[in-house]
Structure 1
Amino acid sequence: MFWPWCSAQGDTGISNTQILDERATEAGSAWLPVIVIPLFLVAPALWNGYPLLQWDTGGYLARWYEGYLVPSRSTVFGLYLHWGEGSSFWLNLGLQALATLWILQLTLRVLGLSQPLRLLWIGLLLILTTALPWLASMLLTDIFAGLSVLALFVMATQAGRISPLEKCALFGFVAFASATHSATLGVLFGLCCAGWIAYPLLRRQIALSGLVQASMTIVAGAAMLLAANFALSGQLAWTPGGTGVAFGRMLQDGIVAQYLKDHCSREKLKLCPYRNELPPTADDFLWGNSMFNKLGRFEGMNDEMGFIVKQSLAAYPLWQTKAAAVATAEQLMHVATGEGTNGWVPHTYGIIERYIPSQTQPMRAAHQQHWDIDFALVNWLHVPVALASMLAAAAIAGHAIWRRRRDDIALLAATVTLALLGNAVICGIISGPHDRYGARLVWIATFTVLVAAARHFGGERTAP
């Protein structure tokens, strides 16, 4: 075996030294994205001097200490944050950066695009042009939304190209991601439903075993959340808050005010005396200094808000339908980076000062707490890139359907487009349009476009 190999070397004029040099260069380039991408993903936090915080962060942190359930705050994610407290949460950011690198690399690998330098330039373009590094640098569930969509895609459509260990790791990751936020779980559930609907037509593209495994992650995530809620609060219950959030969106659309106007003459509701004083937005009502506080917040108002939500759905079906369509369209356009990531997060400050006083000083010294973060320049680039990426991803999926092409890039584009639409429906209709809900997911559209460009210009064969 040795001699023919040596003879071939002599015939081609390539020396052993040259081969060793080439292999050393390849090994070095393989490590380059492993070092550079995670470092740049947490660069905003490194510059800040402390992990980035958001208004919701404090609610998650408090779950371990307060031991009861609050609206829209997953105990699973609260436990995840508590695990990293001893490192001032840098362990959490490190894990988020490495998970991002892993999912990006794995997606490129199963698509046949796993060259290290390609991973590097795609990663750096995502870091420059999308919200990805801000999501990875923040103590919030948002980074797991987009990653879980890509992980679900790999699990369901590329089962034959990943090892049993990778299948187990993806299963655990998607289950955890779905347990961190109800909207993420809803998007993943919708994708699984779409997968089952499309399976009879796409038997060659969608592996039955992968689709079953992907669907079971939703069940596992729900079980994980119920178990964590029971362990921390003693209640075998889902995280509360969906009704209150939906009520806020209807209030913002004027539906609640109209319902009170039409029914307060014959129904005794706590909000009736305030029907002419309702604040203009859901955020002002739920989180501002409104009558909601006087009436007992969620504990005192849950039943009444749920009653008004159900009754107004029946009372104004056309209005509700129109409002839902408008909210979905607006949510698709709300993609700016940085909503809620400024110096005004007093609840989170208070939670850290109360329960983790040792971190008060570094938290207060961070740039964020001095209002040094300005996303205006960032969004000058991020917003047009996000909107163009969504259109391009949808165009790739639409072109494939029109031409009846069923390759893996088309399937990825269709998955991402459905995820973005599902996210807009869930978040827009229930919570009302917010930039944060769009920015946390739209970067996977940019990733899809970059993957399609790499496939097209790299000359690799499109996998059938």
Structure 2
Amino acid sequence: MHLRRTLNRRNGGIGVTAGRATGGTRISTRVLYRRSMEAPWAWIAAVIIPILLLAPAIWNGYPLLQHDTGGYLARWYESHLEISRSNAYGIYLHLGQGSYFWINLACQALLTLWILHLTLRVLNMAQPLRLLTIALILIAATALPWLASMLLTDIFAGLAVLTLYILVAHNGKLSIAERISLFLFTSFAAASHTATFGVLLGLCCAGWIVKPLLGPRLQTGGLIQGSLTIVTGAAMLLAANFTLTGQLTWTPGGAAVSFGRMMQDGIVARYLNDHCDKIKLKLCPYRDQLPATADDFLWGNDSIFDKLGRFEGMNGEMEFIATHALVAYPLWQAEAAVEATAEQLVSVDTGEGNTGWIPHTYGIIERYLPEQVKTMRDARQQHWNMKFTAINWIHVPVALASMLLLAAIALAALWRRRLDDVDLLAVTVTVALLGNAFICGVLSGPHDRYGARMVWVATFVVLIAAARFLAHRHDPPYGRRDKNFSTPSL
């Protein structure tokens, strides 16, 4: 080995080359200076980002609650399955309840920081100042901090899309510990909610379908590992259900939520009018009294659903009507599915369900966690001090613009038939958003919460694309290093 100093005019300074006569590694003073400046920014980012992600909960004085939170909290204490309430997530909440759930929130914030950084790292863009800048924009302009501060599965939906992408497309850039950690997180996210499971399953299926077109761009090993997260997630969910209830079965809810969506589209009323003279159903006497929305039917006070025995008394009939109505009115169902998907895509307001009126969740905390009642009641959310109108003046335009820009990036990449790493991420997230809109809109009906929990990922990808553009434009050496982004044509 030998050292020799050379004038590195291209990099604007003195460079030091260490290597053999046949070649070596050049470390310019600019690079050394850049690395010395990155260290403090790395510490600043590691401290500031998690704190700001939890700023809503810190301001509130207690983790943010939502209508569905109580159903998850109760899973540890109630030995039965509840519609659309994952026992796997219920166990996760129980593990942190001794800390008043601040351990859960800290876990969610640190996972978010790690996954944001890891995404930038596999794209060769992981500079601390860049990470901090992107994170600050996401915290200010998207629902991300509200998701991280809430006791709900929603934070895992968007993060899991990123981790699945990393596992599949960049498996070779990960250490063994990182692969295991990403695998376990993605599996748990799939087990935490049926919609998340469906989105991840759809992405894996799409990956296998397009693999012949992308060739080496999607490695078989990565796709196998990504697909195995779905299998493991299913096993986690079944194991959690068996552990808490003694039943080795899937979490119920598919037929009920589909029935609710069909009811608010008018399909259930039509089916009852067409078939009640031939088939004796519990709902027949009430066919002219059905409420306008699924939420009113399933969760309203003194509803028809309550009178007929709720899920215990209606599960079989709801499944029967949903299945037969799908066959009876295929064109209507298709039209309703397209409308619901389109409506779900633009339903992205932050804060749905984070009001002061969540009596079921309050009741669950009072019943099973009485020591936390005072702290929970003293929180700002429970005093109706949480308003989202002004916040959504920013969040909604940013979300809609991000989806348009994301679609433009994805379509441009497909048009030129050449995908680099950022383009592949853009296509992945676009498919995930469409899949989420279809699954949630068609099965459950459009809700702002379902859109807000995913659309921040579109903003993240747009910011990555913008950072890459600026890096190529203003820092040619960085641009040259990014040539490994280029991939074979489709």
Pairwise TM-score range, normalised by the shorter structure:
over 0.9
Which residue does 2:25 correspond to in 1? none
Supply the distance in 2 between the matched residues of 1:401 and 1:13 (Cα, whole angstroms): 40
Q: Do the aligned residues in 2 keep the contact of 1:396 with 1:410 (CA within 8 Å)?
A: yes
Q: Do the aligned residues in 2 keep the contact of 1:29 with 1:117 (CA within 8 Å)?
A: yes
The change in CA–CA distance for 1:241 and 1:23 in structure 2 (over 3 A counts) is: closer
After TM superposition, give the deviation of residue 362 of structure 1 in Å: 0.6
The partner residue of 1:340 within 326, 337, 353 is 353
Give the residue type in structure 2 aligned to 1:449. Answer: V
SS at match of 2:281: coil
After TM superposition, give the deviation of residue 163 of structure 1 in Å: 1.2
Q: Do the aligned residues in 1 keep the contact of 2:38 with 2:127 (CA within 8 Å)?
A: no
The change in CA–CA distance for 1:371 and 1:309 in structure 2 (over 3 A counts) is: same
Which residue does 1:244 correspond to in 2? 256
Which residue does 1:308 correspond to in 2? 321
Which residue does 1:375 correspond to in 2? 388
Q: Do the aligned residues in 1 keep the contact of 2:163 with 2:182 (CA within 8 Å)?
A: yes
After TM superposition, give the deviation of residue 4 of structure 1 in Å: 6.1
SS at match of 1:140: coil
Q: Do the aligned residues in 1 keep the contact of 2:38 with 2:129 (CA within 8 Å)?
A: no
Give the residue type in structure 1 aligned to 2:222. Answer: G
Supply the distance in 2 between the matched residues of 1:66 and 1:373 (Cα, whole angstroms): 31
Which residue does 1:120 correspond to in 2? 132
Residues 105-116 of structure 1: pairs in structure 2 closer than 5 A: 105-116=117-128
For the pair 1:76 / 2:115, whether they are aligned, the reply is no
Which residue does 1:447 correspond to in 2? 460
Which residue does 1:409 correspond to in 2? 422
TM-score, normalised to structure 1, is 0.96
Give the residue type in structure 1 aligned to 2:274. Answer: D
Give the residue type in structure 1 aligned to 2:464. Answer: V
Supply the distance in 2 between the matched residues of 1:296 and 1:22 (Cα, whole angstroms): 67
TM-score, normalised to structure 2, is 0.91
Which residue does 2:185 correspond to in 1? 173
Which residue does 1:155 correspond to in 2? 167
The change in CA–CA distance for 1:19 and 1:456 in structure 2 (over 3 A counts) is: closer
Gaps of 5+ in 2: 17-29, 473-478
SS at match of 1:227: helix
Gaps of 5+ in 1: none
Which residue does 1:357 correspond to in 2? 370
Structure that is richer in strand per residue: 2
Supply the distance in 2 between the matched residues of 1:4 and 1:406 (Cα, whole angstroms): 40
Supply the distance in 2 between the matched residues of 1:397 and 1:21 (Cα, whole angstroms): 36
Q: Percent identity?
A: 65
- CA offsets per residue over residues 115-135 of structure 1, 9 Å max, x none? 000000000000011000000
Which residue does 2:56 correspond to in 1? 44
Give the residue type in structure 2 aligned to 1:422. Answer: G
Please tell me the root mean square deviation across aligned C-alpha atoms, in Å.
Answer: 2.0
Which residue does 1:265 correspond to in 2? 277
Supply the distance in 2 between the matched residues of 1:47 and 1:207 (Cα, whole angstroms): 45
- CA offsets per residue over residues 314-351 of structure 1, 9 Å max, x none? 11111111111100100001011010011011000000
Which residue does 2:449 correspond to in 1? 436
The partner residue of 2:198 within 181, 186, 189 is 186
Supply the distance in 2 between the matched residues of 1:125 and 1:339 (Cα, whole angstroms): 21
The change in CA–CA distance for 1:85 and 1:428 in structure 2 (over 3 A counts) is: same
Q: Do the aligned residues in 2 keep the contact of 1:205 with 1:408 (CA within 8 Å)?
A: no
Which residue does 2:246 correspond to in 1? 234
Which residue does 1:102 correspond to in 2? 114
After TM superposition, give the deviation of residue 213 of structure 1 in Å: 0.1
Supply the distance in 2 between the matched residues of 1:151 and 1:178 (Cα, whole angstroms): 11
The change in CA–CA distance for 1:253 and 1:13 in structure 2 (over 3 A counts) is: closer
Give the residue type in structure 1 aligned to 2:407. Answer: A
SS at match of 1:204: helix
Which residue does 2:234 correspond to in 1? 222
- Larger mean CA deviation between 212-221 and 304-313 belongs to 304-313
Supply the distance in 2 between the matched residues of 1:385 and 1:22 (Cα, whole angstroms): 32
The partner residue of 1:292 within 297, 302, 305 is 305
Which residue does 1:327 correspond to in 2? 340
After TM superposition, give the deviation of residue 203 of structure 1 in Å: 2.0
Q: Which runs of 4+ in 1 moved over 4 A?
A: 1-5, 11-14, 18-24
Supply the distance in 1 between the matched residues of 2:250 and 2:67 (Cα, whole angstroms): 22
- CA offsets per residue over residues 179-215 of structure 1, 9 Å max, x none? 0000000000000000001111112221211110000
The partner residue of 2:219 within 199, 203, 207 is 207
For the pair 1:388 / 2:401, whether they are aligned, the reply is yes
Higher relative contact order (CA 8 A, sep 6+): 1
Supply the distance in 1 between the matched residues of 2:118 and 2:407 (Cα, whole angstroms): 23
Q: How many residues get paired?
A: 460
